[in-house]
Amino acid sequence: MHKTGTAWWQHGIVYQIYPRSFQDSDGDGIGDLPGIMGRLDHLVELGVDAVWLSPIFPSPMADFGYDVADFTGVDPIFGTQEQFDALVTEVHRRGLRLILDFVPNHTSDRHPWFEEARRSRDSAKRDWYIWRDPAPDGGPPNNWLSNFGGSAWEYDAATGQYYYHAFLKEQPDLNWRNPAVRAAMFDALRSWMARGVDGFRVDVIWHLIKDDQFRDNPVSPDWKPGMDPFHQLVPLYTADRPEVLDLVREMRAVIDEYDDRVLIGEIYLPLERLMAYYGADLTGAHMPFNFQLIDAPWHARTLEGLINEYEGGLPPGGWPNWVLGNHDKPRIASRVGPAQARVAVMLLLTLRGTPTFYYGDELGMENGLIRPDQVRDPFEKNVPGRGLGRDPQRTPMQWSAAPNAGFTTGQPWLPVSDSFSEVNVEAQSGDRRSMLSLCRALIALRRGEPALAAGAFEPVSAEGDLLVYQRIWGTDRFAVALNLGSTAARIALPERFADGRIHLSTHLDRSDALVGATVELRADEGVIIAPAKSAQVKP
């Protein structure tokens, strides 16, 4: 237990690794488990607490691991079961935790379960998936759409029925209404926890249950040509069904069979629905992922509003969390620019709740440039020209100015970003004002100060491009002032911070500078301010 009295997943920082892109150890151009193990010291030096791995299970790789063919194995591309066990040991030896991505909504169409299910309508595993007869005209049973383009129904000529797939046709959805499916998937969770895994990030958890009447989804009044075609319909009957919360509670009960584990849910939903996934009496997901910083316009008043709304909407005892980037969304430095990316990481690491880093964001990595002939993402291939492809944010980690950024001695599976000669771990480790140095300093400060790790959040009134708040733990306070604008701005500080000092600036150049009743923030600057000692008072 941390000195704040919080669990590791509350005071800690989660670091997401996309295994294909982190470090290749054998020259095949694809990252692997030994590569990750060889780079763990970078995570220790950075100061994070937990490693989250995107899927490493056996897979045909139609969706690069999110099409699972065995929920209890390791794909040979990434390594062996023994290498995974060695990774768990090395992670724990360094005082870190290991979180696995779990993909319960669907399997690969090459999973033995589905191969058996499609043999005949009488197969013992037929009801493990979702099958329907054709519509009277022979077409799909209803209007449900795939997230990756086109109908969500694929016709199986051998048995004369359609099966449902929320994503690729190679990813048939499991029927979570079937108790045998639930039992098998829960046993898979247990098998990983028995091997030392500390928790799970559960993929598309809000998709697990579909309407048992198979009603058509309503047409969206907001969709316009050129937008993602999936959003033509409101997924009323294919996601966030009322019964899914019962499943999340059952999954949490399995997690709770083991000590000190965490359940994190991937959920892209409006705030009021997101909060439901904490469950009654907090018996749902420990942390339903909060993606507001990924999707919101980067304006101070917008962010202020969503932060206050999120804090106010949490159920009693619900623990907040914040995410700046992941494998599905453009990188933060590309969304807001390199200068504001520094302000963004200060925001991430000083808000109340658990922060999640995406690999490379500690360097300010931007989206890579992917030529049409280099596209690997099936989403981009299915829905081209809409800017929906996810390859740009999955380019290899940039370790050094060596060939291929030190990621591989072979041909990388995706091209290394052109920025790697300057934007890399080796170069930034030697630069006291680099993004990496800023992230290390922020994390060290957060780890050492209970007010920043677990303290209360209190907004401070501000205008224009300024976002200001306090973090409070007993008599300790910090003010965080962020300038989201491109011009300098001055702000009046709360009275107790007059004659305080700047503890840390995103520019890394005026630590310990004294402030008066006001402080001037330069363009694209954030500061953490400590009050004068005499001003420390109980909240």
CA distance 352 to 452: 7
Strand-strand pairing, 161-164 and 131-132? antiparallel
CA nearest neighbour of 417 among 373, 475, 368: 368
CA dist list (Å): 130 to 106, 121, 133, 177, 487: 10, 12, 11, 10, 56
CA distance 412 to 395: 9
Burial of 222 (0-12, 13-18, 19+ CB in 10 A): exposed
CA dist list (Å): 407 to 327, 360, 400: 18, 12, 8
Catalytic residue among 203, 240, 377, 391: 203
Q: Are 453 and 401 in contact (CB under 8 A)?
A: no
CA distance 445 to 450: 9
CA distance 414 to 411: 8
CA nearest neighbour of 186 among 66, 68, 102: 102
Burial of 387 (0-12, 13-18, 19+ CB in 10 A): exposed
Instruction: Give yes or no: 67 in active site.
Output: no
Catalytic residue among 82, 187, 216, 257: 257
CA dist list (Å): 381 to 19, 62, 142, 163, 414: 22, 12, 24, 22, 15
Instruction: Give yes or no: 257 in active site.
Output: yes
Contacts of residue 523, Cβ cutoff 8 Å, sequence gap at least 6? 339, 483, 485, 486, 487, 488
The continuous run of DSSP H or E covering 58 comes out as none
CA dist list (Å): 515 to 4, 465, 518, 536: 29, 20, 7, 16
Q: Are 108 and 171 in contact (CB under 8 A)?
A: yes
Q: Are 178 and 128 in contact (CB under 8 A)?
A: yes
Q: Are 494 and 460 in contact (CB under 8 A)?
A: yes
CA distance 240 to 44: 38
Q: Are 493 and 475 in contact (CB under 8 A)?
A: no
Q: Are 354 and 12 in contact (CB under 8 A)?
A: yes
Contacts of residue 457, Cβ cutoff 8 Å, sequence gap at least 6? 307, 311, 351, 352, 469, 470, 471, 472
Please list the active-site residues: 203, 257
